[in-house]
Amino acid sequence: MTDLLLKNKKNVNLKGKDFLTLAELSSEEILFLLDEANQLKQMQKSGIPHPYLNGKVLGMIFEKSSTRTRVSFEVGMYQLGGQALFLSNKDIQLGRGETIHDTAKVLSRYVDGLMIRTFSHLTVEEFAEHATVPVINGLTDLHHPTQVMADLQTIYEHKGKLQGLKMCFIGDGNNNMTHSLIEGAVKVGMDIAVASPEGYMPNKEIVKSAQAVANYTGATIQIGVDPVEIIQDADVVVTDVFTSMGLEDEAEERLKIFAPYQVNEELCNYAKEDYIFLHCLPAHREEEVTSSIIDGPHSVVFDEAENRLHAQKAILKNLL
């Protein structure tokens, strides 16, 4: 399998397509977008204008609040020469009972693309079914593909490759980050290992589908309950909050259940000496990760946050 950089880019055409999950993209398409993200980042750092989307407008629907998703998409559209339109439930009739079917068809007459950050993944799928412009999943309870594109870009920047590396996720396995990390890792030939308590394992259907991909790319998937076993010899260590948005009522119980899964110096001693640490942010220091790790020498979380901008510009440029 070819790692970055792809030699035959002309065979990769994403114009007009949706971006809902990493499982729906080929390995070549993911690697192509990562290469595009790297190039767009270099252009921005060099002060080279890149108005590929001059005159284009992105509609951004937010049912979940956001820092990085909103700012990166909005700034990304601006840097690409286009504009972004922020739409909350209070700004559109969707919040007053208009159907997704009607909203998708109407908005498609106004904008060139739609980015949606919401709860149910079915909402994004329904938008994509009825919209006539590309639909981008900015986050659902089941998937977070735009974040994982930034994660893969960050890993490549710091490790110089993706294929053959071992990435481990410690924490809540049944969340959007874990699912997209599994789907993305196997597509680029990375081994993925997940440590979660019983009852919080990744979605079985997502793992099953990813395993079929892993059989082709040579990647491995390991799921277990012992964080020490899972983190052994990891090149990349990843975690996320123990209580995701919308699950605040479970916070106290989850803190007790997930306490053994805190990413700290003792646990990270089992990773490779040159491991890097990722977190999609926002982080709850001293809960899922200690300050000594997230603020320490192995942490690349702010490079990761910055790369949301560049990875999403690559998605926007190629879909719109």
Q: Any binding-site annotation on 144?
A: yes
Q: Any binding-site annotation on 176?
A: yes
Catalytically annotated residue among 147, 153, 262, 312: 147
Q: Any binding-site annotation on 67?
A: yes
Opening angle at CA 89, ends 84 and 93, nearest 5: 95
Catalytically annotated residue among 121, 143, 144, 179: 144
How many residues does this entry show for the chain?
A: 320
**Residue 223 forms beta bridges with which residues?**
194
Q: Which two tokens stand for residue 68?
A: 């990085």
What is the β-pairing status of strands 221-224 and 83-88?
unpaired
Q: Any binding-site annotation on 285?
A: no
Catalytically annotated residue among 18, 35, 117, 298: 117
Q: How far apart are CA 320 and CA 83, in angstroms?
A: 12
Q: Any binding-site annotation on 68?
A: yes
Q: What is the CA radius of gyration of the chain?
A: 19
CA–CA distances in Å: residue 137 to residues 70, 141, 149, 159, 232: 12, 11, 12, 27, 32
The answer for 90, left when phi > 0, alpha when psi is -120 to 50, beta otherwise, is alpha
In sequence order, what are the residues at sequence separation of 6 or more whose Cβ sits closer than 8 angstroms to the Cβ of residue 231? 168, 170, 193, 195, 237, 267, 268, 270, 271
Q: Any binding-site annotation on 307?
A: no
Q: Any binding-site annotation on 163?
A: no
70 in active site? no
Q: Any binding-site annotation on 96?
A: no
Catalytically annotated residue among 240, 254, 268, 279: 240
Q: Any binding-site annotation on 308?
A: yes
CA–CA distances in Å: residue 174 to residues 142, 178, 223, 232, 239: 8, 7, 12, 21, 12
240 in active site? yes
Q: Any binding-site annotation on 201?
A: no
308 in active site? yes
Q: Any binding-site annotation on 244?
A: yes
Q: Any binding-site annotation on 240?
A: yes
Q: Any binding-site annotation on 158?
A: no
Q: Any binding-site annotation on 109?
A: no
Q: Any binding-site annotation on 281?
A: yes
Buried b (16+ CB within 10 A) or exposed e, 254-288: beebbeebbbeeebbebbbeebbbbbbbebeeebb
Q: Are 278 and 151 in contact (CB under 8 A)?
A: yes
Catalytically annotated residue among 18, 308, 310, 312: 308
Q: Are 6 and 38 in contact (CB under 8 A)?
A: no
Q: Any binding-site annotation on 226?
A: no
Catalytically annotated residue among 79, 280, 310, 312: 280
153 in active site? no
- Residue ranges of the annotated binding site are 66-69, 93, 117, 144-147, 176, 240, 244-245, 280-281, 308
Catalytic residues: 117, 144, 147, 240, 280, 308
Q: Please report, in range form, the residues annotated as the binding site for L-ornithine.
A: 176, 240, 244-245
Residues annotated as binding site for carbamoyl phosphate?
Answer: 66-69, 93, 117, 144-147, 280-281, 308
